[in-house]
Structure 1
Amino acid sequence: MGYGFGNQPRQGYGPGPGTGYGPGYGPGGSPQKGHVHQYGTYTSYDFGHNHTMGGTTSRATGGLDRHVHVISGTTSYNDGHTHQYQVTTGPAIPYGRGYHVHRYNGVTTANGRGPHTHRFRGYTSPAPNDVPYPAAK
């Protein structure tokens, strides 16, 4: 997805699949309350393995320019087990003209040998702004 562990979101994204024009957006891409983002990343490498994780965020909650999303799910099955995760993203970060992304990071539940956890972090896919955001400085 281009939003890997520790990576910045890639440039060149515009309207289309995975950019917020989906659940939460009306005909012609007009914003509706509660847009979503896509996300995907790798966990940290611990106990000789890592996991992938990805999906769609919750709908936006909170104030217009301070909104956040919840990211939750189950990691990929690797080394005989999975992990659960649930975190709230940071606030919107302006991304290009008329778009924004969110940063997220966290730790999975304990499972597997040990048991052990994994760390993860990344950025969501860009989504159109519901309201104008101040230009990045």
Structure 2
Amino acid sequence: MVPSDYHVHSYWTRTSCANGHIHCMNGITGPSVPLGNSHFHYYNGLTTFDQGHVHCARGSTGPSLACPGGGHIHAMNGYTSIDHYHSHCYEACTGNEESSMLFKRKAI
């Protein structure tokens, strides 16, 4: 990854079941953050509204994982915030990298 390679990933997953229900999570990561020969992304979002509440979920992805057809994905996992006396865990992979004009920088 070159320092000017700013890109984002979409993600979608379901949480684990807790108190008899699950939540869905989807969103877009932040731009790439260099890490040695790889990079990672921060993410921050809310779950779906189920059983009268939502949970917050935030964290950082793992380093990039090459896809056989090109591009790459990232693993992500963690726990939601505690709301209504419980939390949920989640584990997923992001979608393949997506160009974003918002984070695209011109070479100097």
Q: Please tell me the TM-score bracket, short chain as reference.
A: 0.7 to 0.9
Q: Distance in 2 between the 1:91 and 1:65 partners?
A: 9
**1:41·1:54 contact (CA, 8 Å) conserved in 2?**
yes
Greater share of strand: 2
In structure 1, the partner of 2:97 is 127
Query: Structure 1 pair 64/34, CA: closer, same or farther in 2 (3 Å)?
Result: farther
Structure 2: gaps spanning 5 or more residues? 99-108
Aligned length: 95
- The equivalences for 1:96-111 within 5 A come to 96-111=68-83
Q: CA RMSD in A?
A: 1.5
Alpha-carbon offset, residue 59 of structure 1:
0.5
Which structure is higher in RCO with an 8 Å CA cutoff and minimum separation 6?
A: 2
Alpha-carbon offset, residue 84 of structure 1:
0.4
| Percent identity over paired residues | 34
In structure 2, the partner of 1:68 is 40
Amino acid corresponding to residue 90 of structure 2 in structure 1: F
Q: Distance in 1 between the 2:82 and 2:97 partners?
A: 32
Query: What is the TM-score when the length of structure 2 is the normalising length?
Result: 0.82
Amino acid corresponding to residue 36 of structure 1 in structure 2: V
CA offset digits 1:62-88 (Å, max 9, x no partner): 147320001210100000100001010
Secondary structure, counterpart of 2:50 in structure 1: coil
